[in-house]
A and B are shown apart, each in its own frame.
Chain A
Amino acid sequence: MILRAGDMGVLLLGGGLVAALTVYAWGGDRGDTAVIRAAGQVVKTAPLTHAQSVSIDGPLGTTRIEIEPGRARVAADPSPRQLCVKQGWLTLSGQTALCLPNQVSLEIRGRVPAYDTLGY
């Protein structure tokens, strides 16, 4: 008996794991660049390869953006409702965090842009 009942189970589970990892790693367009805008102008474009922290000054104060391998977020913002901070980490191409009161935005871009343009 080379293959026992449990072996089939292990092989199936392994196959499932491989499939799940494939979908996780290759499915969806994971972003590779963070585009930071202040008052509509691009102030910084950073690759999502190494950790760094960027501080942007807006009309209300300083917005701090954190970049880590594969993801980025707005770590701190002076806006009253903290909507962009609460969005958390952004990973996929096209995801955007807007800090409207402070006029700062963080957008993730992948190889294929998710859309042509956005109007607010």
Chain B
Amino acid sequence: MTRSAIELPVTADDRRIARLAALAIGLTLAEAAIPSPIPGVKPGLANIVILLVLLQYGWRAAAWVSVLRLLAGGLLLGSLFAPGFWLAAAGALVSLSVLGLARHLPDRYFGPVSLSVLAAFGHIGGQLALAGIWLLPAAALLKLLPVFAAAALIFGAVNGVIVARLLAGPVSSGRQSGSCTPPSIP
């Protein structure tokens, strides 16, 4: 009955999560090259992947991709377990919790843009909460609050629109009304 070789059974699910996590990690790395005036203000491109995973494969898969992205991104950028890593971890945790709740919103009215904006606010909220408790005096953070919130709103909305376009698919949906131009996916 016992086998000598250790074999880890890999399911199709595992492969898919690994593939999507790799995508998210790639975006994290690409994003790290973009200069930012204030640390913490980033487009959060990897969240596009996480949101897509959430909408297509459920919350569990999204959580896996998020955690894998966090760890591997930390390893590759050399920030694993550094303060910045913990801030990102707190942001990801709150963002995932928010997504876990928000995905139960009726999707007739709330599309990817809502989810993305809420997740972005959760992300920045988690980061700022940890930073306020742990790193910086709250008074210093207070002045930056509007900047972070505005960035979350803008980048969250843009990412949400990208997710919505990607989900719409390359198949031109010539339904009843609206634009007839084929969606161009960047």
Contacts and interface: CB of A to CB of B under 8 A. Distances in A.
B62 interface: no
A5 B156 CA distance: 17
Contacts of B22: none
Given A11-B117, A25-B142, A6 B149 contact: no
A96 B143 CA distance: 23
- Say what secondary structure dominates the interface of chain B: helix
A17 B109 contact: no
Contacts, number: 87
A49 interface: yes
B12 to A, nearest CB: 31
Interface in A49-105: 49-50, 69-70
Interface in B133-186: 137-140, 142-146, 149-150, 152-153, 156-157, 160-161, 164-165, 168, 178
Q: How large is the interface on A (under 10, 10 to 19, 20 to 34, 35 or more residues)?
A: 20 to 34
A48 B146 CA distance: 21
Contact of A10 (B106, B118, B145): B118
A2 interface: yes
A10 B113 contact: yes
Nearest to A4: B111
Contact of B105 (A6, A18, A22, A25): A6
B111 A7 contact: yes
Interface residues of B, number: 32
A30 B113 CA distance: 35
Contacts of A48: 139
A22 B151 CA distance: 13
B87 to A, nearest CB: 19
A3 B162 CA distance: 11
Contact of B110 (A4, A24, A25, A50): A4
A70 B139 contact: yes
B3 interface: no
B153 A15 contact: yes
- Say what secondary structure dominates the interface of chain A: helix
A7 B137 contact: no
A69 B117 CA distance: 30
A14 interface: yes
B114 to A, nearest CB: 4
A7 B139 contact: no
A70 B142 contact: yes
A49 B149 contact: no
Contact of B149 (A1, A17, A30, A70): A17
Contacts of B142: 25, 30, 70
8 contacts: A1-B164, A3-B113, A4-B108, A6-B114, A14-B153, A18-B153, A25-B145, A70-B142
